[in-house]
Amino acid sequence: MDIPFFNYQALFKEYEKSFVDIYKDIGHRGAYIMQNDLSDFETKISEYLNIRYAIGVGNATDALQLLLKAGGIGVGDEVIFCSHTMIATASAIKFTGATPVPVEAGPDHLIDPQSIRSAITSRTKAIMPTQLNGRVAEMDEIINIAEENGLQVYEDSAQALGAKYKGKCAGSFGLGGCISFYPAKTLGCFGDGGLVLTNDDEIYNKIILMRDHGRGDDGNISIWGYNSRLDNLQAGILNVFFKDYDKTVERRRQIAKLYHENLNTINNIVLPPSPDENSNHFDIFQNYEIETKKRDELKQHLSNNGIGTLIQWGGKAVHEFRDLGFEQVLPFTEKLMRNSLMLPLNMTVTDEEVTYICDKVKSFYKI
Ligand SMILES: Cc1ncc(COP(=O)(O)O)c(C=O)c1O
C-alpha cells in the first residue's frame, strides 16, 4: 500500500466540475475581491457556528493579529498561550508589540489551566488557548481564570471549525477566534485563507475596517488597517466544500473511532479520546495525534510499510525556538513533542487503509 499523510491532488479531483464552474462564473463576473461569494460564505459559517460574526481574512495568523489589535493588546502586555501550537499563535502576539508567554500543555495536548495560573503577572492581559487537533480545551476553567484575573480570552481555533465544548463552538468563548483554510485543514481552500469569529460588536466593527486598509463604505479611514481580505475566488471554492462539511466531520469522527477500536489495546501508545468518550466535547479530528516513547522508530516502521505520518510542528514546541528569545522550561510539553506522531486522517483515507495502518502499528509492538 501507499498511503500518503495527506493527498493534496485529491482535494481538486473530488469536486473538479464545480470548481471549474465557480472559476468561470467568478471570472465572467469579474468578482475577485469582497463580492457575494465571500459575504454568502461569511453568513453561512456564522449561522453554522452560531457565532454572530464571521469575517473572511487572508489567513488565520492575520485573523489572530487583527483580533488582538482590535482588542487593544499592545506594547507592555503579556499574552499567555500553550507552547504546543504553531509558531503563528506566538507571532500574532509578538507583532502587536506584546510579549508571548508560553505555558504547558496538559495530557489532552491543550493548554494546561494550572500552568496558566502560574504564568499570570501584573502585565498579563489575555489568555489565548489553541483548540488543537480539532478539540476545544476545558473552557469553563479557562474562563473562570480569566474572570478572576480580569483577562481577555482569544482562541486560536485555526484547527477547530465546528468543534464544540458543552455545545458551544470553538471561537465563541471569549472576544474572538480564528479559522484557517490552509488546504490540509478540515475545510481547506486552494491557497491561504482565514476567518475571524466574534460575538463582540466592537471587535467586529473594527476588524471589518481593519481587514481592508481601515476603509469604510464611504471611503473614510478612521482606523489603521491591513490588507487582509479573503479572496472571493477562495470563498467560492470554500462554498463548494462547505456544502458537505457536516459529512466531512462525520467521516473524520468515524475514522478516529476506527483507529480507537483497533489500537486501544496497545499499552505502549496513548490515543486521543474516542469521539463519543465525553459528551462535553464534540471533536472534529483535524489531526489524529498519538503518543509513544518509540515515536521515531514507529514512524520509520510505518514509512517502510508505505504509510505517511507527520510530526506536528517538526517536533518542537514554540518555546524551544531559543533564537526567538524564549527561556521557559516546560518539561511536560517537551516530552509530548518528543513522543507525538500524527497518523493519516483525511477524506481520502479508506476504512481498509485505516485497518492496514493499525495492523502495521500492532506489528511494530509485536501484537
Ligand atoms: C494552531 C494553528 N494556529 C495558527 C495557524 C495559522 O494558520 P494560517 O496558515 O491560516 O495563517 C495554524 C495553521 O496551520 C494552526 O494550525
- Give the Å distances, CA to CA, from 255 to 287, 354, 358: 11, 7, 11
Q: Are residues 199 and 338 in the same domain?
A: no
Closest ligand 1 atom to 184 CA: 14
Whole-number Å distance, alpha carbon 201 to ligand 1 midpoint, is 25
Q: Are residues 315 and 219 in the same domain?
A: no
Whole-number Å distance, alpha carbon 197 to ligand 1 midpoint, is 14
Closest ligand 1 atom to 181 CA: 10
Whole-number Å distance, alpha carbon 180 to ligand 1 midpoint, is 6
Domain assignment of residue 15, yes or no: yes
Q: Are residues 172 and 70 in the same domain?
A: yes
Closest ligand 1 atom to 62 CA: 11
Q: Are residues 52 and 188 in the same domain?
A: yes
Pick from 6, 55, 57, 61 the residue to mutate for probing ligand 1's pocket: most ligand atoms within 8 Å of its CB.
Answer: 61
How many domains, the chain?
2
pLDDT of residue 216: 95
Q: Are residues 187 and 286 in the same domain?
A: no
Closest ligand 1 atom to 193 CA: 10
Pick from 86, 91, 155, 230 the residue to mutate for probing ligand 1's pocket: most ligand atoms within 8 Å of its CB.
Answer: 86
Q: Which residues pair with 155 in a beta bridge?
A: 177
CA distance 233 to 212: 17
Whole-number Å distance, alpha carbon 185 to ligand 1 midpoint, is 9
All 3 cell numbers of residue 361? 502499528
Sign of CA dihedral 346, 176, 127, 279: negative
pLDDT of residue 34: 96
Read off the CATH number of the domain in which 200 is found: 3.40.640.10
Structural domain that includes position 286? 245-364
Whole-number Å distance, alpha carbon 81 to ligand 1 midpoint, is 14
Residue that finishes a domain, picked among 226, 242, 258: 242
Give the residue from 282, 283, 290, 284 showing the smallest Cα distance to 263. Answer: 290
pLDDT of residue 157: 98
CA distance 145 to 186: 30
Domain assignment of residue 268, yes or no: yes
Q: Are residues 277 and 141 in the same domain?
A: no
Domain assignment of residue 33, yes or no: yes
Q: Are residues 124 and 229 in the same domain?
A: yes
Domain assignment of residue 54, yes or no: yes
Q: Are residues 212 and 270 in the same domain?
A: no
Closest ligand 1 atom to 88 CA: 4
Alpha-carbon torsion, ordered 257, 262, 263, 264, to 10 deg: 70
Domain assignment of residue 2, yes or no: no
CA distance 365 to 232: 49
Read off the CATH number of the domain in which 294 is found: 3.90.1150.10
Q: Are residues 233 and 301 in the same domain?
A: no
CA distance 234 to 192: 8
At 310, give phi and psi (nearest 5°). Answer: -140, 140
Domain assignment of residue 3, yes or no: no
Residues 38, 232 contacting (CB under 8 angstroms): yes
Whole-number Å distance, alpha carbon 154 to ligand 1 midpoint, is 14
What pTM value is reported for the model?
0.98
CA distance 303 to 364: 12
Q: Find where cell 501584573 sits.
A: 122
Domain assignment of residue 354, yes or no: yes
Whole-number Å distance, alpha carbon 182 to ligand 1 midpoint, is 8
| Maximum alpha-carbon separation in the chain | 69
- Protein residue with least CA distance to atom 8, ligand 1: 60
Residues 87, 321 contacting (CB under 8 angstroms): yes
Whole-number Å distance, alpha carbon 202 to ligand 1 midpoint, is 24
- Each of the 367 residues of the chain gets a pLDDT tens digit; together they read 899 999 999 999 989 999 999 999 999 999 999 999 999 999 999 999 999 999 999 999 999 999 999 999 999 999 999 999 999 999 999 999 999 999 999 999 999 999 999 999 999 999 999 999 999 999 999 999 999 999 999 999 999 999 999 999 999 999 999 999 999 999 999 999 999 999 999 999 999 999 999 999 999 999 999 999 999 999 999 999 999 999 999 999 999 999 999 999 999 999 999 999 999 999 999 999 999 999 999 999 999 999 999 999 999 999 999 999 999 999 999 999 999 999 999 999 999 999 999 999 999 999 8
pLDDT of residue 251: 98
Q: Are residues 260 and 177 in the same domain?
A: no
Q: Are residues 238 and 252 in the same domain?
A: no
pLDDT of residue 14: 86
Q: Are residues 26 and 164 in the same domain?
A: yes
Strand order of the β-sheet with 281-282 is 168-169, 164-165, 281-282
Domain assignment of residue 359, yes or no: yes
Residues 193, 234 contacting (CB under 8 angstroms): yes
CA distance 91 to 104: 18
Residue that finishes a domain, picked among 186, 210, 242: 242
* HEC profile of the chain: CCECCCCHHHHHHHCHHHHHHHHHHHHHHCCCCCCHHHHHHHHHHHHHHCCCEEEEECCHHHHHHHHHHHCCCCCCCEEEEECCCCHHHHHHHHCCCCEEEEECECCCCCECHHHHHHHCCCCEEEEECECHHHCCCCHHHHHHHHHHHCCEEEEECCCCCCCEECCEECCCCCCEEEEECCCCCCCCCCCCCEEEEECCHHHHHHHHHHCECCECCCCCECCCCCECCCCHHHHHHHHHHHCCHHHHHHHHHHHHHHHHHHHCCCCCEECCCCCCCCCCEECCCCCEEEEECCHHHHHHHHHHCCECCECHHHHCCHHHCHHHCCCCCCHHHHHHHHHEEEECCCCCCCHHHHHHHHHHHHHHCCC
Is beta strand 99-103 parallel, antiparallel or unpaired with respect to 340-343?
Answer: unpaired
Residue that finishes a domain, picked among 187, 218, 242: 242
Q: Which residues line ligand 1 (CB under 6 A)?
A: 59-61, 85-86, 88-89, 130, 156, 158-159, 180, 182, 192, 194
